[in-house]
Structure 1
């Protein structure tokens, strides 16, 4: 019985019950029975195995920034709690859609960082750990400290880790510089050679996904006002050097129609076209090379910042724009 997925079977069985409340009650009862059987068999097999190893499974089910956050969390757990860590990447083949169900996510961690190795959990390991050791809330560091086995379903923010620790574990320049070509290579050269390059990240989906436009109160006008204010504030901050703005977005048409059309003529800018729609980590890398940055809401901007090596960088974000 162990490692068999009975979820579909339970759902099929309960559909013969016409009333929803009774159907839901029966589903819960059957799931409890199945889970109890899983636990009993797992305990028997676990105690009877001489090769049994304890480990933590981390559920990878995010875009590139989320993948990095979970990888760094896994490394932190290995370094500080001496735990074995595996990753569940099954979501990318089952669903893999963003929160708006529009963009297909790819597991890009290993495509970007070819020099790292991770252990991928098997279907059997995922099934049993989900049944027995599933956690989606609580203090995960405390859980990892006190529990031998865990299935962690949560979203650690990469910005919560020390920047030097992230850069010690991952080297974006080493992995991506030699792959630059065409428009990406031209942008890279412009960014690093300009004395006041500014990466501007505009990601519409992140704004909508974080508290209904989060700081922008579900209002496009407020969001656009923030972008314009950030650009002109950056110009003031960098005087007498005239900055050049490098725009990155998953919706460049929106940026063209709502931002570029209304910028003052003296604003010098260029934008990254759709070359990287299937390899978004190139956007993060190019942004990380800029001498200054303007953030949007979401972890992608923060991800690029974590790899930025410029010492005197000016960062403008929705959190600090009114205090600069």
Structure 2
């Protein structure tokens, strides 16, 4: 499909720079099949879902993956993208033309790394020096990797360490938050459980590639970034049992949806999974593993807007986004949510 079909105009003032407080006070647009759009809040979820349904969350934890340093006198910016080994990460580099193989980049806090290899997409493999775990080095020298559409408008601060992390964050390795889950609080989770709505967690380490623009003119020419995901056998079995009992699987976030769809077989059974996935979902895709999606509002011409258009239909999502803009919903990572329930 033509990428320009997924374009729309978004006023800059609709981009949220801080999250709603409390988190579950965020607005939520409910899109059900061809029914009228309905304005709600995240805290209304217990009344919008059914007993027996299960919400699935991503328990990845965002690491302070953005680094600033120097190679000699040249200033170098690095955003870690994907772990390649105990001390090696693939990173997008700002001012990467100033780098050569075996150059040493010195970051703050006595942290340094060797630029080992340049990849075809312009990223580099960085090998961190020393014996301390890389996670400790990043805590000392790194900062939270806010999305570029927020970072371009304000600096990262101490509050982002808390704001840009979900209540489910356990497994370190993400360089972007699974932002749909930012709307959840312990009180909301308790209300869901009281309503008979369960929850499960899985892990997909979100990479910085999620923010890369689609530069191709046609979706078939876009190379999707890969990310590591894991679903254990016990979780897969419980999710399959939900559907067998007539319940629905509601993915909280596109990362969860992509991992579940990657793990599902042709019959829709979710299998244990521990591998990279580069699944690219566009209109025409047949969903096998999920029955609904809670997600934030995404960028024009992004792979994520293509994904929600595949779930609900392009014209339907164009209308939903036009409604959201007109009614002053807040967009992107710190913005409001949508609950998408196809017929």
Q: One fold, TM greater than 0.5?
A: no
Higher strand share: 2
Query: Structure 1 length normalisation: TM-score?
Result: 0.28
Larger radius of gyration: 1
TM-score (norm 2): 0.27
Query: Which has the larger share of helix?
Result: 1
